[in-house]
Chains A and B, each alone.
Chain A
Amino acid sequence: MSVLTSLLAASPGDPTNPGGGLGGATSTVTNTFTAPHVEYRALMPMLVVFGAATVGILIEAFLPRTRRYWPQVGVSLAGVVVAFCFVVANHGMAETTAADAVSVDGVTLFLQGTILLLALLALLLVAERGTGLVDLDAFTAQGATTPGSGGERAADAAGLRTTEVFPLMLFSVGGMLLFPAANDLLTSFVALEVLSLPLYLLCGLARRRRLLSQEAAMKYFLLGAFSSAFFLYGVALLYGYAGSVRLSDIATAITSSPHSDVLVLAGVALLAVGLLFKVGAVPFHAWTPDVYQGAPTPITAFMAAATKVAAFGALLRITYVALPGLRWDWRPVLWGVAILTMLVGAILAITQRDIKRMLAYSAILNAGYILLGVISTTSKGVSSTLFYLAAYGFATIGAFAVVTLVRESVRGGSDSGDGGEEDSVTVGGEATDLSAWAGLGRRSPLLAACFTVFMLAFAGIPLTSGFTGKFALFTAAIDGGAWPLVIVGVIASAAAAFFYVRVIVLMYFSEPLREQGAGPIVVVPSPMTTVALTVTVALTIALGVLPQMALDLADKAAYFVQ
């Protein structure tokens, strides 16, 4: 834990640019000494988010523990909303800025907008502390205490709250905003680290099953660090080949360089490892189920939705801007990765007994689908990828929001602190075992209906966002000649339908586990989770029934600047 906390202390240092005085951080690559021109308007979304994160740190430093929660919530929500407004105001922009380190174009803006919306919804889940009756705090009272120790009990008894999660999340969001916008590989790397480091920490802060959570954080951190190293090595090789880390320079070098291709191919391969790891594609997917399961569920929701958007954004930019000349080399590899990802995701999901692990494999499966859009190398491919990322992100946040509400009931003594008492039954941790979901439809029809909508969307049933997204992706793929991939996609969808439908069957057609006094209960959340759920359900249906506006938006946004 101490390693992680020291990382926390280190991470905000480099990329934060509160107000003025930036520039230097991102322009290390230029040869001349003239100060780079910085178009602040284009960078505003990121600046606002990083600024809000810094304010959050100050709140942590100067406000007493008990009074930090509301200011933190307010600052984070306001930061994300203001940043979103800047993204909207920047629409139609197509320029590179900060010494060409950041490119703001349609793809960037669409993805930044999506990330901010997803972050807003995820923040609502993170901020959930329950109503007066039940305590739904997903985060540990004090991250530094050893699980099961006296210190932990004391922290619980004192009613401590971990409010650091808000600035941590904002830093991560800032990194995600930069990742798809990065126009040179070094900026990419910085963005990758800024988005990842806070996430490693957040994964380890779960309130219940803390050992599992810390194990997840450790795994994620170690494997993530490895993949970052691969990425960095790839950057170095590409710099050696092209003499520049700018994406457009690499693209020119690929078409005109007299050097042997070995260097560039090795570099691209190493780069791909780093990116595919973040995306969660097979064979770099092994961390996903463990981390998704161990992390606090609101963080899992945020990670599953927003990280995927950011990482696919970076993948799109690097493949479309820097590597079009190598298309014939990387496409077959991505074909293989996509096929493997779809099949492994679908098949392993069938065997899962834990809802969070099932959703993790479903995330892997969906990464495979999205790769179809990347592979098609057409503007249709880009726009369908953008649409699918948004559709998938909202449904994912919604699905995990439902997971946070289905809880175990503990009869008699409570396991942690001030859990509210209801008929001498205490609300425990999340009931993530699938068997606990049996009969949910009878006890809580509305919640089950919400979850059914998300499952149907994941399964790609018409009139949900998942169907429209899949339709757009498959169309783009067939258009690009990748029909074998579509066949695999269809087969994977059929297999996937099985496990999505199985949850629906459990909820509606199975007898609930009422015996043993430990049947699951559905808690009533504060308005925050309710709002997040309502919005995600509404968007999932709206993007299925009337998707034209969003499709248009994605179509218009499918352009890159170099």
Chain B
Amino acid sequence: MSSFPWLTTMGVVPLVGSALVATLPKERSAAAKKIALTFSVATFGVAALMATQFKKGGSRFQFTESHQWIKAFNINYGLGVDGIALVLILMTTVLMPVVMLAAWNDADEAQADGRRSVRAYFALYLLLETMMIGVFAATDLFLFYVFFEAMLIPMYFLIGGFGGPQRSYAAVKFLLYSLFGGLFMLAALIGLYVASGKHLGTGTFDFNTLANAVASGQLGISPGLSKALFLGFFVAFAVKAPLFPFHTWLPDAAAEATPGSAVLLVGVLDKVGTFGMLRYCLELFPGASKFFTPMVIGMAIVGTLYGALLAIGQTDIKRLIAYTSISHFGLITLGVFAMTSAGQSGASLYMVNHGLSTGALFIVAGFLISRRGSQLIDDYGGVNKVAPKLAGVFLIAGLSSLALPGLSSFVSEFLVLVGTFERYKAVAIVATCAIILAALYVLWLYQRTMTGPLKAGLEGMKDLRAREVVAVAPLIALIIGLGFYPKPILDVVNPSVKTTLQHVQKQDPAPALNAQTSEKVDSK
């Protein structure tokens, strides 16, 4: 079974679906939706089947495939997943059918307008899924970059073609920010390739070869160059994640995109940023990563608080959720750069949980907005009187977002804070404040929209339809399930984190009594 090309299959299934949907005749828009959903469920099936074959104690990268692609630059079509990539791919494939169900009627309005077709909407979703699987599965840096950039194109059309009134502006801002970051990464990528050619004889893009050469000291890039290359990669990931101060595109993009696109944007696309920091920045440039840690931690902590504070002040529901995400991405980055196993395991878990809880929040917000046609918080109030199910789901998603114990985000946030506390006590304490702010923005949002007297115009509001219930049910189940039992994910993630830390040559600080001395040693 090991030779079966799982990852290629998983990428090809949505690609075929995308082509099929795109070529359907115009009258068959309804069929397009069903075909797209079928293909996304099939993709999830492949992913789930593959996950059962993943050996926890096995080699780091599994299901590897490698074929020569461009010989002139020693570029391979190299795929493979470690634990972190595996859970992120699983999350992607779970979110996709959910998003499609939730976004079932999103594009109808655009079609009626004559702007875009339903077929294009769903074909772009499937195309995006291929790219997202590819970006997590690539083990060749060049291939990773190709997916990293190419996935911008479908997302760009999704925002620009189907979003709100300012969609064109938001789409361009999104694309230009991302391209700008990506180009720096391209320069660093080429620099790394040339350096590897000088030190290893032949230049290579293979992540394993590079990471091992770095860890064994064979690839002795000079510290100055290493720092420059680190920054090239880091800027790209910081824009993508997005980290303060590169975050300004996200609120626009998320607020203008349809709720479904916003879920994929914030839930999956942005994870590539934190995923990239964890895998590529840390392992390829361990020395530079340590050097820049104070700066990154500073950005992360500022982003955490800044995002949370701005979220409180928002008047637009989707913008509010976008700012909460900026806050959460700050925490994830904190966990990654704390360089402790608890922090990084927590960060990896957080990536999944954030995708689930923010995804649920965006989807339910989308349901709400589709009923009233407004994104303004002021237009809502007392919704739980007319739509109790909707309000209930919204509350669960919100509570998970503020990391209530028993819901999934709690475990990951706790791990991140513990991991940070082991090394940077003050930072952890400040970061904890963000949790209080989180309670403020979530509960206040809930209070303003769902409780209190019913706002005029909401009287006839329908509760969740069967389709909508089916769409959010898996997310809610996962949020609660992983809240109580995160072990399956942590088991898969932990070995990868361990390897990463070994490559960075960092050990967890000794606990308890030696805490103070070890901190002194580290601070040197």
A contacts, CB < 8 Å to B:
442, 456, 459-463, 468, 471-472, 474-475, 478-479, 483, 486-487, 490-491, 493-494, 497-498, 501-502, 505, 508-510, 547-548, 551-552, 555
Contacts and interface: CB of A to CB of B under 8 A. Distances in A.
A486 B194 CA distance: 13
Contact of B161 (A502, A509, A552, A555): A509
Contact of A498 (B168, B176, B193): B176
9 contacts: A462-B145, A468-B70, A471-B186, A474-B190, A490-B186, A491-B183, A502-B172, A509-B168, A552-B71
B190 A475 contact: yes
3 tightest Cβ-Cβ pairs between the two chains A and B? A462-B146, A509-B168, A551-B72
B168 A510 contact: yes
B179 A442 contact: no
B157 A463 contact: no
A459 B180 CA distance: 11
The winner among B71, B72, B115, B172 for most chain A CB atoms within 10 A is B72
Contacts of A471: 73, 186, 190
Given A442-B114, A505-B168, A508-B161, A475 B150 contact: no
Interface in B177-217: 179-180, 183-184, 186-187, 190-191, 193-194, 197
A486 B172 CA distance: 25
B72 A552 contact: yes
Contacts of B145: 462
Nearest to B181: A494
Contacts of A502: 172
B186 A474 contact: yes
Nearest to B184: A490
The winner among B73, B183, B184 for most chain A CB atoms within 10 A is B183
B183 A494 contact: yes
Prevailing SS type, chain A contact patch:
helix
Interface string B230-247: 000000000000000000
Contacts of B149: 461-462
Interface in B377-402: none
B14 interface: no
Contacts of A483: 191
A86 to B, nearest CB: 27
B373 to A, nearest CB: 21
B433 interface: no
B171 A509 contact: yes
Given A460-B183, A486-B187, A509-B160, 13 more contacts: A461-B149, A461-B153, A462-B145, A462-B149, A468-B70, A494-B176, A494-B180, A494-B183, A501-B176, A548-B70, A552-B71, A552-B72, A555-B72
A463 B72 contact: no
Interface in B499-521: none
B157 A497 contact: no
A443 to B, nearest CB: 11
Contacts of A479: 194, 197
Nearest to B194: A478
B19 to A, nearest CB: 14
B167 interface: yes
A366 to B, nearest CB: 16
Contact of B157 (A475, A491, A508): A508
B376 interface: no
A488 to B, nearest CB: 10
A501 B150 contact: no
Given A509-B167, A509-B168, A486 B190 contact: yes
A463 B70 contact: no
B180 to A, nearest CB: 5
Nearest to A462: B146
B454 interface: no
A548 B168 contact: no
Nearest to A478: B194
A508 B160 contact: yes
Interface in B98-127: 114-115
B146 A463 contact: yes
A474 B197 CA distance: 15
A493 B183 contact: yes
A225 B191 CA distance: 42
B72 A505 contact: no
B175 interface: yes
A490 B191 CA distance: 13
Nearest to A500: B179
Given A461-B149, A486-B190, A552-B72, A494 B161 contact: no
A501 B70 contact: no
Given A494-B179, A509-B167, A474 B187 contact: yes
B175 to A, nearest CB: 6
Contacts of B183: 460, 490-491, 493-494, 497
B164 to A, nearest CB: 12
B13 to A, nearest CB: 20
Contacts of B69: 548
Contact of B73 (A459, A475, A494, A497): A475
A135 B71 CA distance: 47
Contact of A501 (B71, B72, B73, B175): B175
Contacts of A510: 168
Nearest to B152: A461
Nearest to A387: B72
A505 B161 CA distance: 10
A494 B184 CA distance: 9
Nearest to A459: B179
A195 B153 CA distance: 40
Contacts of A456: 153
The winner among A459, A498, A508 for most chain B CB atoms within 10 A is A508
A478 B146 CA distance: 20
A530 B197 CA distance: 44
Nearest to B195: A478
A508 B175 CA distance: 15
Contacts of A459: 179
A237 to B, nearest CB: 38
B70 A547 contact: yes
A367 B145 CA distance: 25
B197 to A, nearest CB: 8
Contacts of B73: 471-472, 475, 551
B194 A551 contact: no
Given A490-B183, A508-B160, A442 B168 contact: no
Contacts of A475: 73, 190, 193-194
A472 B203 CA distance: 13
A526 B360 CA distance: 53
Nearest to A475: B190
A487 B187 contact: yes
Nearest to B149: A462
Nearest to B145: A462
Contacts of A442: 114-115
Contact of A462 (B150, B157, B167): B150
A269 B146 CA distance: 41
A367 to B, nearest CB: 19
A260 B194 CA distance: 39
Contacts of A548: 69-72
A502 B149 CA distance: 18
A501 B177 CA distance: 12
A472 to B, nearest CB: 8
A372 to B, nearest CB: 12
